[in-house]
């Protein structure tokens, strides 16, 4: 069972949840050869509970996991910031993760994050697996925590993003910490969008559907970590794509539509066609009496409306005529419509 221990279901924390985007992610995870993922969404992402609500609606339960129609198995989870700096992964049933997320509500903003010890005290109330996410990522201070605290962890995350940047450093440091603590090291891609899936994964010899079995297989070391030869390229491309999609959103565009419309919209109007404005000019006879002139303009406008045009302006000329300008309806500046 090829499992990715660290993934996200949204492009970014502050962007709204999109079912289409999430569907795309899960489809691509399967296409990348993964059998299962741990969905370790940021605990303070927008619409955390809606993401899980959607998953519960669209999947069927198998053991502790949620099985999607495309065969992708999801181990529910969450990634939580700690006050010292660093991220902690937790894996449990969807109900447990949702409850923990609600209990962490007062601690979701910087300045209010729980310190590691208090977070572990909370986690200890539940039957969950807890891991240190990318322990050697810049800005994180997990390795500097007291040993007795670190021993409360269940696993360490050899993170695909860090492996892609400096494989030797990430592997040496993470495995050394794992040996010091006597804890298994597993791996996750940390992807927020599809191209990063498969850069690293943890391949178990058996299929797993419960957390107790997952714990047993991890402790038995019944897995191997595989790193894609293209990992560095995947992570770099993912970074570029993420920035571009976020920029589209910041400019008021629909990044999901831009991302997903490629193949389906081959016959759609081009950008130039979308922004083109079609005008028509109509000349009518001038009437000296204002009410008659207004009636003539209205008659011409009604006639043009039936042809799909709307009046933009009307000008009376010195040669006893009036010039009316019409614009084709629906051809205004209408980006991404």
The site for Fe ion (CB under 5 A) is made up of 79, 190
Nearest to 149 by CA among 115, 179, 174: 115
Which position's Cβ is nearest Fe ion?
A: 190
Q: How far is the CB of 53 from Fe ion (least distance, A)?
A: 21
Cα separation, 332 vs 269, whole angstroms: 14
For Fe ion, which is the closer residue by CB, 81 or 190? 190
Q: 236 or 274, CB closer to Fe ion?
A: 236
CB atoms within 10 A of CB 250: 10
Report the C-alpha gap between 78 and 98 in whole angstroms: 9
Minimum gap (Å) between residue 133 Cβ and Fe ion: 6
Q: At its nearest, how many Å lie between Fe ion and the CB of residue 231? A: 16
In the complex, the smallest distance separating the C-beta of residue 42 from Fe ion, rounded to whole angstroms, is 7
Smallest gap, in angstroms, from Cβ of residue 308 to Fe ion? 51
C-beta closer to Fe ion: residue 35 or 190 = 190
Q: Indicate the residue among 6 and 327 with the shorter CB distance to Fe ion.
A: 6
Q: Please identify, using beta-carbon distances, which residue of 116 and 326 lies nearer to Fe ion.
A: 116
d(CA 59, CA 65): 9
Q: Compute the distance between CA of residue 204 and CA of residue 266 in angstroms, rounded to an integer.
A: 41
Q: What angle do CA 83, 89, 93 make, to 5 degrees?
A: 130
Identify whether the C-beta of residue 234 lies closer than 8 Å to the C-beta of residue 193.
no
Q: Shortest approach of Fe ion to residue 6 CB, angstroms?
A: 6
Between 132 and 324, CB nearer to Fe ion: 132
């Amino acid at each position: 069972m090829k499992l990715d221990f660290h993934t996200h279901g949204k492009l970014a924390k502050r962007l709204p949840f999109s079912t289409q985007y999430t569907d795309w992610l899960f489809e691509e995870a399967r296409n990348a050869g993964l059998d299962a993922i741990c969905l370790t969404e940021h605990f303070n992402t927008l619409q955390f509970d809606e993401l899980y609500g959607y998953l519960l609606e669209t999947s069927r339960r198998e053991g502790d996991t949620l099985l999607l129609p495309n065969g992708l198995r999801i181990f529910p989870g969450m990634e939580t910031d700690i006050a010292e700096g660093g991220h902690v992964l937790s894996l449990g049933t969807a109900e447990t993760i949702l409850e923990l997320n609600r209990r962490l509500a007062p601690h979701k903003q910087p300045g209010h994050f729980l310190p590691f010890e208090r977070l572990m005290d909370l986690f200890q109330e539940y039957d969950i697996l807890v891991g240190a996410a990318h322990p050697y990522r810049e800005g994180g201070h997990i390795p500097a925590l007291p040993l007795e605290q670190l021993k409360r962890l269940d696993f360490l995350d050899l993170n695909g993003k860090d492996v892609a940047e400096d494989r030797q450093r990430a592997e040496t440091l993470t495995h050394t910490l794992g040996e010091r603590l006597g804890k298994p090291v597993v791996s996750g891609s940390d992807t927020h969008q599809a191209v990063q899936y498969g850069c690293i994964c943890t391949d178990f010899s058996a299929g797993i559907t419960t957390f107790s079995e997952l714990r047993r297989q991890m402790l038995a070391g019944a897995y191997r970590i595989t790193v894609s030869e293209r990992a560095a390229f995947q992570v770099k491309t993912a970074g570029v794509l993420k920035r571009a999609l976020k920029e589209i959103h910041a400019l008021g565009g629909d990044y999901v539509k831009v991302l997903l419309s490629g193949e389906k919209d081959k016959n759609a109007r081009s950008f130039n066609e979308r922004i083109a404005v079609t005008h028509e000019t109509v000349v009518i006879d001038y009437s000296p009496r204002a009410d008659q002139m207004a009636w003539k303009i209205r008659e011409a406008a009604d006639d043009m409306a039936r042809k799909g045009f709307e009046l933009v302006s009307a000008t009376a000329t010195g040669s006893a005529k009036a010039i009316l300008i019409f614009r084709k309806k629906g051809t205004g500046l209408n980006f991404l419509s």
